[in-house]
Copies of this chain bind each other. A is one copy, B any other.
Protein backbone atom coordinates (compact mmCIF):
# COMPACT_ATOMS: atom_id res chain seq x y z
CA UNK A 1 0.00 0.00 0.00
CA UNK A 2 2.69 2.47 0.95
CA UNK A 3 4.58 1.07 -1.99
CA UNK A 4 5.60 4.47 -3.25
CA UNK A 5 7.54 5.12 -0.08
CA UNK A 6 9.95 2.31 -0.89
CA UNK A 7 11.46 4.81 -3.32
CA UNK A 8 12.91 6.55 -0.29
CA UNK A 9 15.27 3.73 0.55
CA UNK A 10 16.81 3.71 -2.89
CA UNK A 11 17.78 7.30 -2.27
CA UNK A 12 19.40 6.65 1.05
CA UNK A 13 16.42 8.04 2.96
CA UNK A 14 14.86 6.09 5.77
CA UNK A 15 11.41 4.65 6.06
CA UNK A 16 10.11 5.67 9.47
CA UNK A 17 6.66 5.17 11.00
CA UNK A 18 6.11 8.94 10.93
CA UNK A 19 6.78 9.08 7.22
CA UNK A 20 4.47 6.17 6.56
CA UNK A 21 1.72 7.83 8.54
CA UNK A 22 2.13 11.21 6.89
CA UNK A 23 2.12 9.69 3.43
CA UNK A 24 -0.81 7.48 4.34
CA UNK A 25 -2.74 10.47 5.66
CA UNK A 26 -2.00 12.37 2.48
CA UNK A 27 -3.27 9.51 0.36
CA UNK A 28 -6.38 9.21 2.47
CA UNK A 29 -7.16 12.88 2.47
CA UNK A 30 -9.73 13.72 -0.20
CA UNK A 31 -8.34 16.27 -2.62
CA UNK A 32 -5.58 18.13 -0.88
CA UNK A 33 -4.49 18.91 2.66
CA UNK A 34 -2.44 21.51 4.47
CA UNK A 35 0.41 20.50 6.71
CA UNK A 36 -1.76 21.39 9.64
CA UNK A 37 -4.73 19.35 8.41
CA UNK A 38 -2.50 16.32 8.29
CA UNK A 39 -0.89 17.11 11.60
CA UNK A 40 -4.27 17.38 13.30
CA UNK A 41 -5.37 14.00 11.99
CA UNK A 42 -2.06 12.37 12.74
CA UNK A 43 -1.77 13.69 16.27
CA UNK A 44 -4.66 11.44 17.24
CA UNK A 45 -3.01 8.27 15.99
CA UNK A 46 0.56 9.12 17.01
CA UNK A 47 0.34 11.53 19.96
CA UNK A 48 4.04 12.36 20.03
CA UNK A 49 4.27 13.52 16.42
CA UNK A 50 5.41 17.04 15.78
CA UNK A 51 4.27 19.70 13.33
CA UNK A 52 7.88 20.09 12.31
CA UNK A 53 8.01 16.48 11.28
CA UNK A 54 4.95 16.82 9.10
CA UNK A 55 6.43 19.85 7.36
CA UNK A 56 9.76 18.12 6.86
CA UNK A 57 8.13 14.96 5.59
CA UNK A 58 5.91 16.77 3.11
CA UNK A 59 8.98 18.59 1.89
CA UNK A 60 10.70 15.27 1.43
CA UNK A 61 7.75 13.76 -0.39
CA UNK A 62 7.76 16.65 -2.84
CA UNK A 63 11.50 16.31 -3.31
CA UNK A 64 11.15 12.63 -4.07
CA UNK A 65 8.21 13.23 -6.37
CA UNK A 66 5.53 11.52 -4.29
CA UNK A 67 3.64 14.73 -3.57
CA UNK A 68 3.20 18.17 -4.99
CA UNK A 69 2.21 21.49 -3.54
CA UNK A 70 -0.93 23.37 -4.46
CA UNK A 71 -1.56 26.93 -3.38
CA UNK A 72 -5.21 27.60 -2.80
CA UNK A 73 -5.84 29.50 0.43
CA UNK A 74 -3.61 31.26 2.91
CA UNK A 75 -1.49 28.21 3.50
CA UNK A 76 0.19 25.68 1.23
CA UNK A 77 -1.68 22.48 0.45
CA UNK A 78 -0.27 19.15 -0.64
CA UNK A 79 -1.64 16.36 -2.72
CA UNK A 80 -0.20 12.97 -3.61
CA UNK A 81 1.20 12.51 -7.09
CA UNK A 82 -0.67 9.74 -8.86
CA UNK A 83 0.69 8.14 -12.01
CA UNK A 84 -0.18 9.50 -15.39
CA UNK A 85 -1.37 12.82 -14.06
CA UNK A 86 0.71 15.83 -14.92
CA UNK A 87 -1.94 18.45 -14.58
CA UNK A 88 -4.46 19.26 -11.86
CA UNK A 89 -7.57 21.31 -11.97
CA UNK A 90 -9.30 22.47 -8.82
CA UNK A 91 -12.69 24.06 -8.41
CA UNK A 92 -13.15 26.29 -5.39
CA UNK A 93 -16.51 27.55 -4.22
CA UNK A 94 -16.07 31.15 -3.11
CA UNK A 95 -19.13 30.94 -0.88
CA UNK A 96 -18.72 27.78 1.15
CA UNK A 97 -15.05 27.10 0.43
CA UNK A 98 -15.66 23.56 -0.76
CA UNK A 99 -13.35 22.22 -3.42
CA UNK A 100 -13.65 19.66 -6.16
CA UNK A 101 -11.49 18.29 -8.91
CA UNK A 102 -12.27 18.35 -12.58
CA UNK A 103 -10.41 16.68 -15.39
CA UNK A 104 -9.51 18.40 -18.64
CA UNK A 105 -7.25 15.85 -20.33
CA UNK A 106 -6.45 18.02 -23.33
CA UNK A 107 -5.59 21.05 -21.24
CA UNK A 108 -1.98 20.11 -20.72
CA UNK A 109 -1.14 19.94 -24.40
CA UNK A 110 -2.86 23.18 -25.24
CA UNK A 111 -1.12 25.09 -22.48
CA UNK A 112 2.18 23.56 -23.48
CA UNK A 113 1.83 24.78 -27.04
CA UNK A 114 0.91 28.27 -25.95
CA UNK A 115 3.83 28.35 -23.53
CA UNK A 116 6.30 27.16 -26.12
CA UNK A 117 5.30 30.06 -28.29
CA UNK A 118 6.71 32.28 -25.54
CA UNK A 119 9.82 30.15 -25.06
CA UNK A 120 8.76 28.18 -22.01
CA UNK A 121 9.07 24.42 -21.60
CA UNK A 122 6.19 23.44 -19.33
CA UNK A 123 6.37 20.47 -17.00
CA UNK A 124 3.37 20.94 -14.76
CA UNK A 125 0.13 22.85 -14.69
CA UNK A 126 -2.05 23.91 -11.81
CA UNK A 127 -5.40 25.42 -12.50
CA UNK A 128 -7.76 26.93 -9.95
CA UNK A 129 -11.26 27.90 -11.00
CA UNK A 130 -13.29 30.05 -8.62
CA UNK A 131 -17.05 30.10 -8.58
CA UNK A 132 -20.13 28.72 -6.89
CA UNK A 133 -20.87 25.09 -6.20
CA UNK A 134 -24.21 23.46 -6.89
CA UNK A 135 -25.15 23.50 -3.21
CA UNK A 136 -24.56 27.21 -2.70
CA UNK A 137 -26.17 28.14 -5.99
CA UNK A 138 -29.32 26.32 -4.88
CA UNK A 139 -29.23 27.40 -1.24
CA UNK A 140 -29.22 31.13 -1.72
CA UNK A 141 -27.98 33.05 -4.73
CA UNK A 142 -29.02 36.18 -2.82
CA UNK A 143 -26.73 35.36 0.08
CA UNK A 144 -23.75 36.28 -2.02
CA UNK A 145 -24.60 39.96 -1.94
CA UNK A 146 -23.47 41.09 1.48
CA UNK A 147 -19.99 40.96 2.83
Q: Which residues of A contact B (CB under 8 A)?
A: 63, 71-72, 74, 76, 89, 91, 93-94, 100, 102-104, 107, 110-112, 114-115, 117-134, 137, 147
Given contacts A129-B115, A129-B122, contact A104 B100 (CB under 8 A): no
Q: Tell me the smallest distance from the CB of A110 to a CB of chain B, in Å.
A: 7
Give how many copies assemble into the complex. Answer: 2
A91 touches which of B91, B103, B118, B128 (Cβ 8 Å): B118
The residue of chain B having its C-beta at the shortest distance from the C-beta of A131 within the complex is B122
Whether the Cβ atoms of B118 and A129 lie closer than 8 Å is: no
Among candidates B110, B111, B115, B131, residue contacting A115 with C-beta atoms closer than 8 Å: B131
A147 to B11, CA, bound (A): 13
Cross-chain contact of A119 among B115, B124, B125, B134 (Cβ < 8 A):
B134
